[in-house]
Structure 1
């Protein structure tokens, strides 16, 4: 019961403190890729804590120091004792239901998000087949439209889409920067990361934690692509290119070089990004790993102690230290001199 309460309390702490941490973190501007990993780990830690907390409620605690056969027999006895009373059965069944519900709900919502995005991209590709033409230099699909826009369609048949207005408005360097931005989305499979964040947000619609993680993940994925664009040419060229294609939202299931938040992204590129030091990277990575390790450690700690106690129990038939010393003393006295 104590393990379950600790895990559920940890999940509640993440739900309360998590949104504040996500909204107030400023270091993510300098390391957006690490920020995405940290916020995904924060979401996963909450889900893992709920699932393991439910499992801990459904299984009784044991403290044994015997062999495996006795251990299994004690497990069965403890399970019977817990589920024999109405209160114990209700607690155990509630824990198992909580774990199952969280797993099914999260898996279902993430799957639905992925399927919807796939369907949106399929319909958009069918439209491009009728309206678009292959650009001979970059391999992107070109739409005859005067408004400058650029976006990509991830997936198995990934594509980069440019309007005729974007090709005419962008210089050669700017076009190369825009293409690097979109290729970074495709290469990093940002669609899967975004789908996971959106799926968990819909799985827990009233929770501020997943709303904050979803919004910040979408923003940080764009910063990751912006950094790739800046490294391919120059940060000022990338900023100019982004301004030229800004203001056009991406179609459903796509990633656009412009769109919401373009102003802040342009200012970030103009100001430049200071490198994130190795020490800070190691510190944030360790904190991210601790988010996931803590609930797992809380759950498996008693089990590891139990296993160690069961496997390393002392043999009552074995001689004690004092008996060994006495035997050695007698042996020395009996040796011929």
Structure 2
């Protein structure tokens, strides 16, 4: 029971406290790739904490044995002892419902999101093949439209799309920056990152962590793509390019260089560049790794201790079996 309580408390703290501490963090803007990883780790760790808390309530920890028959006997005896009392049965049932509900809801929403995104991308690619024309030199699809817009359609049959309005508004260096931005989205699979964040936000819409993570990750993936473009074309050139395409509309199936965060990102690009040093990046990475491993360590500690216990001594009746949750 103590293990389950610790995991419940850990998950609750992640879901309520961390969004307040990390929302709009300046360090994440200075190292957007690390910020994206941290938000992803927090989401995975909170899910793992909830599922493992349910498992800790449902299944008692038993001694691991090389003898399969003895190990199975230990499992049966431990389960019998736990579910013999009404309280133990109720806790076990609640834990099972929690674990299955979290896993089932996440899997259902993830599957629905993937199917929807694939359908939207397929439909949009068919439209592009009909109304757009391929530019083999630039490797893009050109749309005849006065609005300056640029975006990519990720996936196996990826497309990078730019309008004639954008071609007229951008000079060669700015166009290179915009295309580098879209290439970064596709090379680093930002679409998959966003899909996972959106899945958690839709699966558990009342959890502050997941709502905040969806917004923050959407902002940080654009900043990360900006940094890739700036490394190639310069920060001021990239800022000017973003201004030129900031008002362009983006289909649901695409990722765009413009968008609602363009103004904030332009200010970031024209300010003095102050990336995080290696020591801070290493510290952040270690902290994220610890958060990811903590639920396993909390559940694994009692499991390791249980390996020293003998659940199946000769002649020991089931009523004397010690269980741990």
Which blocks of at least 5 consecutive residues in structure 2 are unaligned?
311-325
1:33-85 CA distances to partner (integer Å, 9 max, x unpaired)?
Answer: 010000000011110000000000001255x6998565553432121122223
Residue in structure 1 matched with residue 226 of structure 2 by the alignment: 226
Distance 1:268 1:199, change over 3 A: same
Q: Does residue 211 of structure 2 align to residue 214 of structure 1?
A: no
Residue in structure 2 matched with residue 271 of structure 1 by the alignment: 271
Greater Cα offset, 244-253 or 195-204: 244-253
Q: Secondary structure at the match of 1:260?
A: coil
Under a length normalisation based on structure 1, what TM-score does the superposition of the two structures give?
Answer: 0.88
1:139-188 CA distances to partner (integer Å, 9 max, x unpaired)?
Answer: 10000001110000000100100000111111000000000000000101
Larger Rg: 1
Contact residue 249 and residue 260 of structure 1 kept, 8 A: no
Residue in structure 2 matched with residue 329 of structure 1 by the alignment: none
Under a length normalisation based on structure 2, what TM-score does the superposition of the two structures give?
Answer: 0.91
Distance 1:65 1:163, change over 3 A: closer
Residue in structure 1 matched with residue 293 of structure 2 by the alignment: 293
Residue in structure 2 matched with residue 121 of structure 1 by the alignment: 121
Q: Secondary structure at the match of 2:151?
A: strand
Contact residue 19 and residue 209 of structure 2 kept, 8 A: yes
Contact residue 22 and residue 213 of structure 1 kept, 8 A: no
Greater Cα offset, 86-95 or 144-153: 86-95
> 1:188 & 1:132 partners in 2: Cα distance?
26
Residue in structure 2 matched with residue 27 of structure 1 by the alignment: 27
Residue in structure 2 matched with residue 46 of structure 1 by the alignment: 46
> 1:278 & 1:266 partners in 2: Cα distance?
25
Aligned residues: 309
> 2:201 & 2:278 partners in 1: Cα distance?
32
CA drift of 1:235 comes to: 0.6
1:195-228 CA distances to partner (integer Å, 9 max, x unpaired)?
Answer: 0000000010111110000000000000010001
Contact residue 145 and residue 163 of structure 1 kept, 8 A: yes
1:94-151 CA distances to partner (integer Å, 9 max, x unpaired)?
Answer: 1111111111111111221121111111111111111100113211000000111000
Q: Does residue 196 of structure 2 align to residue 199 of structure 1?
A: no
CA drift of 1:24 comes to: 4.6
CA drift of 1:91 comes to: 1.3
Residue in structure 1 matched with residue 319 of structure 2 by the alignment: none
RCO higher in 1 or 2 (8 Å CA, sep ≥ 6)?
2
Distance 1:56 1:176, change over 3 A: same
1:248-286 CA distances to partner (integer Å, 9 max, x unpaired)?
Answer: 231102101111111110011111321211110111011
Which blocks of at least 5 consecutive residues in structure 1 are unaligned?
311-337
Residue in structure 1 matched with residue 280 of structure 2 by the alignment: 280
Contact residue 124 and residue 253 of structure 2 kept, 8 A: no
